[in-house]
Amino acid sequence: MISATQLRRGMTIVHNGDLYKVVSFQHVTPGNWRGMVQTKLKSLKNGSLIDYRFRSEDRVERAILEETEMEYLYNDTTDYFFMNTETYEQVSIPADLLGDSILYLTPNTKIKVEFYDGKPVGIELPLVVELKVVSTEPTLKGATVDRGNKPATLETGLVVQVPPFIQEGDVIKVDTAEGKYLSRA
């Protein structure tokens, strides 16, 4: 058990019998009241977000997750399939549990799958992934006005802003935390 003031973004906790990931937190001390920790929690069961206010003296159970390195194989309409790189055991995870992480997954991507009581509850993406640009606006030759960035659709369906020199077919590096273009691969 940890104090509510020790909560940090990305921690997984057990609250009211369910698993939640801390999306955001803020320590608040309004006027002459006692301190509070205002949090936004994401349910790992159904993906819903809730706002919850803990008192500073509240104790919270931190969930201990097992992390296993796995490789993304393929997906069907509802599930994504991963293979343990050591035992070759396959695990399926529902798409709704993965959320926006699916926009960074291409076959053979190595990730960490988080397990709680033997069941997969989420994944940890690499910091940077390489994705191919499948469509973007062409750059006009001789255009003297700097237009800034342009939208590009990547092979997974993710849309990011890229510099004007990026063309269709280019492979780029994308920051998975921010969902932003970093550089050419």
Q: Which domains does the chain have, with CATH numbers?
A: 2-62 (2.30.30.30), 66-124 (2.40.50.140), 128-184 (2.40.50.140)
Under the banding of pLDDT at 50, 70 and 90, the label for residue 110 is: very high
114: left (phi over 0), alpha (psi -120 to 50) or beta: beta
Q: Which of 7, 99, 82 is nearest to 46 (CA)?
A: 99
Under the banding of pLDDT at 50, 70 and 90, the label for residue 103 is: very high
What is the value of pTM for the model shown?
0.75
Gap between the Cα atoms of 71 and 51, Å rounded: 34
Instruction: Go through the chain and tell me how many residues it has.
Output: 185
Q: Which of 40, 39, 44 is nearest to 56 (CA)?
A: 39
pLDDT of residue 95: 86
Average pLDDT over residues 154-159: 94
Check if the beta carbon of residue 31 is closer than 8 Å to that of residue 53: no
pLDDT higher than 60, residue 144:
no
DSSP string, 64-127: --EEEEEEEEEE-SSEEEEEETTT--EEEEEHHHHGGGGGG--TT-EEEEEEETTEEEEEE--S
Under the banding of pLDDT at 50, 70 and 90, the label for residue 143 is: low
Q: What is the CA radius of gyration of the chain?
A: 20
Gap between the Cα atoms of 152 and 179, Å rounded: 12
pLDDT of residue 43: 85
* Average pLDDT over all residues of the chain: 89
Gap between the Cα atoms of 47 and 180, Å rounded: 23
> Who's near 35: CB < 8 A, 6+ residues apart?
5, 27, 28, 29, 55, 56
With residue 61 as reference, give the H or E element that holds it: strand 59-62
